[in-house]
Structures are given as C-alpha cells and as structure tokens.
C-alpha cells in the first residue's frame, strides 16, 4: 500500500498531465508495490481535485468489461471512472483532436438512471428497473499515463482512461429491447473498422452497471438518479487522427457521429 503523501503526489501529477496533455511515466514501473485499492484512492483524490475546480459529476463509466477490450489491453478485470458534465457531447460534435493524448473511440451503450442504485448485492434486474432509458454512445479514450505496458493500476488511476463521450441515436426503454442483441458498426472516414454486439459486455450491458454499483459500494459511493453510466465497449478501441470522421450505426437505435479537427 502507498502512503497518503504518495497518493496525493500521483493525483496532482495526473491533474497536471490532463492540463498539459503530456502523459506521465507508468505508475506500476515507479511504484511496483501499488495495489488496485491504491489506484482507486488516487482516482478518488483526482476526482475531488477536479470537483474543487467546479466540475460536476454527471455519471460513471465502466471499462474492460468485454473480452474484446481485455484482449486489446492485456488487462483481464473491469474498472471504473467518473464522468464530469463537461465530458458529455451530443452527436455531430466537432472535437479538438489535440485536446486528447492517444485518442481512441469505443462503441457503447449509456444507461440513464431514474432511481438510485447501490450495492452490495445489486442485480441486473434492479439495474433494468432503475433505468429510464438506454441510448447509443461513443467513448473517446484519453491517456494521462504512458500507453505502452499499462497495467490495471495505471488504468484505474487514470480515471479508466475516460476522455469524453458522444451521445446520440434513439433512446429506448430497457424492457422494449433485448439489450444483448444491440449491434453496431463503427466507421472511420467511411470505412468500416469494427463491429460488435452489446452482449459482449458481461453477457448483458446491464450486468456491467450492476458490477459497478457493487464495486463502488466498497468505496462508499453509489449511483444516483439522473446519472449516465457507460456500460463498457463491445468493440476494440479504434485509433483516430486529426481530420477523421467517426460514424457508428446502431441499426434500429440510430447513429452517433463526431469529427476530429
């Protein structure tokens, strides 16, 4: 376990890395004794530093919930991060590519909660009952820590690599559709790059939200009514560059688009 002063120093490093867009060296390489709980302590302090700057929590994201993402990163357990209100964009948005370090795009579903959710013991069925609607979303990954050789402690400390999200398409009530069979085709510059089914996220993306409610309960937190929860990607991350256009076709649930300038 790391001491308090070290955790504070890492959190401050990550705040500065977000401002400067210069990733910091790998934490695992510098602190081989660092644990998953140390990483969540860093993330919690990073969150409080940002809230002190006036940023408001709008929800949470879950990462590494599908085999596709675990294979792409070499990390075999899920993690989570926080979403601030200035991270949420509408479909059709133009994003500044230079504002992100190593940006990549993922295909996901977002859950808008109408009721609070808390663990332990939260189930997929409680998640479905507490959800107002589910809507297509893209997550733009960012990196405040070096990419090569990242481990779970690096990813968690880095707010689960959350950059921003783009929301669009057609919202649906969770009892109007079998969420497992929601599919998407992801295009970059009119060329299809990735396809996937939402069932790749723990068999049902609602199970990802239940995992999150139970996980954050151990850290004294819960999911609140009105929050958006990104349930995790069901495709591999797609690299994007300045000038790229992104188009995600969710079939009956519509499309989500963005462009990087």
Could you give the number of structural domains in the chain?
1
Task: Tell me the backbone φ, ψ of residue 207, rounded to 5 degrees.
Answer: -65, -30
Residue 82 lies in a domain: yes
Residue 11 lies in a domain: no
Residue 35 lies in a domain: no
CB atoms within 10 A of CB 67: 13
Distant-in-sequence, close-in-space partners of 172: CB < 8 Å, separation ≥ 6: 133, 134, 135, 253
Residue 6 lies in a domain: no
| Whether residue 58 has pLDDT greater than 80 | yes
Q: pLDDT tens digits for 31-45?
A: 999 999 999 999 999
CB distance 219 to 93 below 8 Å:
no
| Whether residue 73 has pLDDT greater than 80 | no
Q: Which pLDDT belongs to residue 218?
A: 86
The H or E element containing residue 48 is: helix 36-52
Judging by DSSP bridges, how do beta strands 104-113 and 131-141 pair with one another?
antiparallel
Higher pLDDT, 151 or 91: 91
Residue 229, helix vs strand vs coil? strand
Band of residue 229 on the pLDDT scale cut at 50, 70, 90: very high
Residue 28, helix vs strand vs coil? helix
Q: Which pLDDT belongs to residue 150?
A: 87
Q: Which pLDDT belongs to residue 68?
A: 64
Q: Which domain holds residue 244?
A: 56-260
Higher pLDDT, 63 or 117: 117
Residue 199 lies in a domain: yes
Q: Which pLDDT belongs to residue 64?
A: 73
Q: Which pLDDT belongs to residue 220?
A: 87
Band of residue 78 on the pLDDT scale cut at 50, 70, 90: confident
- The rounded mean pLDDT for the chain is 94
Burial of 94 per CB tally in 10 Å (0-12, 13-18, 19+): exposed
State the Cα–Cα distance between residues 22 and 54, nearest whole angstrom.
23
**Sheet strands (E) in the chain:** 57-63, 79-84, 88-90, 93-95, 104-113, 131-141, 162-167, 183-188, 191-197, 228-230, 238-239, 245-249, 255-260
Q: Which CATH number do you get for residue 64?
A: 3.90.850.10
| Whether residue 178 has pLDDT greater than 90 | yes
Q: Which pLDDT belongs to residue 63?
A: 85
Give the alpha-carbon dihedral of 239, 24, 42, 111, to 10 degrees.
-10
CB distance 186 to 246 below 8 Å:
yes
Residue 123, helix vs strand vs coil? coil
CB distance 72 to 240 below 8 Å:
no
% residues pLDDT > 90 (the chain):
87
Residue 128 lies in a domain: yes
CB atoms within 10 A of CB 104: 20
| Whether residue 248 has pLDDT greater than 90 | yes
Residue 10 lies in a domain: no
Q: pLDDT tens digits for 128-137?
A: 999 999 999 9
| Whether residue 157 has pLDDT greater than 70 | yes
| Whether residue 148 has pLDDT greater than 70 | yes
| Radius of gyration for the alpha carbons in the chain, expressed in angstroms and rounded | 17
| Whether residue 188 has pLDDT greater than 70 | yes
Residue 149 lies in a domain: yes
């Amino acid at each position: 376990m790391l001491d308090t002063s070290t955790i504070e120093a890492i959190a401050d490093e990550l705040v500065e890395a977000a401002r400067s867009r210069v990733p910091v060296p790998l934490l695992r390489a510098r602190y081989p004794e660092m644990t998953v709980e140390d990483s969540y302590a860093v993330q919690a302090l990073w969150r409080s530093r940002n809230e002190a700057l006036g940023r408001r929590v709008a929800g949470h994201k879950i990462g590494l919930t599908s085999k596709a993402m675990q294979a792409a990163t070499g990390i075999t357990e899920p993690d989570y991060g926080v979403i601030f209100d200035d991270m949420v964009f509408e479909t059709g948005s133009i994003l500044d590519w230079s504002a992100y370090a190593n940006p990549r795009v993922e295909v996901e579903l977002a859950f808008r909660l109408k009721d609070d959710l808390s663990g332990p013991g939260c189930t997929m069925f409680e998640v479905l009952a507490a959800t107002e609607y589910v809507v297509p979303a893209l997550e733009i990954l960012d990196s405040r820590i070096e990419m090569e050789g990242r481990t779970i402690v690096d990813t968690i400390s880095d707010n689960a690599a959350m950059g921003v999200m783009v929301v669009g398409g057609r919202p649906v009530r969770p009892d109007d559709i079998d969420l497992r069979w929601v599919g998407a085709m992801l295009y970059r510059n009119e060329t299809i790059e990735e396809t996937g089914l939402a069932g790749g996220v723990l068999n049902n993306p609602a199970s990802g939200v239940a995992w999150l409610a139970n996980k954050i309960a151990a850290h004294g937190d819960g999911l609140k009514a009105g929050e958006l929860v990104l349930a995790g990607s069901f495709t591999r991350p797609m690299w994007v560059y300045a000038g790229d256009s992104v188009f995600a076709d969710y079939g009956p649930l519509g499309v989500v688009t963005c462009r990087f300038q």
